[in-house]
Amino acid sequence: MLQDSENLLAECESAKDNAQQALNAMETALAHCPELADAVDHLRFEVIANDMTDILVRCNNAVHATRESVNAYVEGDRDMADLAHKAASLTASVPEAPGMSGGGHRMVK
């Protein structure tokens, strides 16, 4: 799921770049109409360059932090499983004391 999110974000990054290029071409084509060219320039700078970049950075940060959190949980689960396995093997390897039967605490006569 995280890999899918990263792939989608990469697609968004290229879409942002394509939109930026299209707005550059539009601004050039509108050179004869400075008011429209200025409006396109404003759109390109404010929305595409700033807002979309900020959104993509936040999304990338969220995906990265989620990946780190999941990895930490997985590592913690492995550590707990290793400790449980070691504890179980230590318990199994302790010999039964003489006079003790079945792990009880009463002396067998």
**Statement: residue 13 has pLDDT above 80:** yes
- Number of independent structural domains in the chain: 1
Q: Among 18-27, 61-70, 81-90, where is mean pLDDT lowest?
A: 18-27
According to DSSP, the residues that pair with 107 across neighbouring strands are: 100
Give a yes or no: residue 69 inside a domain. Answer: yes
Element (H, E) at 79: helix 53-93
Residue 40: Cβ within 10 Å count: 20
Cβ-Cβ contacts under 8 Å for 49 (sequence gap 6 or more): 20
Average pLDDT over residues 44-61: 84
Give a yes or no: residue 31 inside a domain. Answer: yes
Tell me the residue type at 100: M
Give a yes or no: residue 23 inside a domain. Answer: yes
**Statement: residue 19 has pLDDT above 60:** yes
When the pLDDT of each residue in the chain is averaged and rounded to a whole number, the result is 82
- Tokens standing for residue 105: 């605490």
Give a yes or no: residue 105 inside a domain. Answer: no
- Residue 37 lies in domain: 2-88
pLDDT tens profile 56-84? 889 889 989 999 999 999 999 999 999 99
Give a yes or no: residue 95 inside a domain. Answer: no
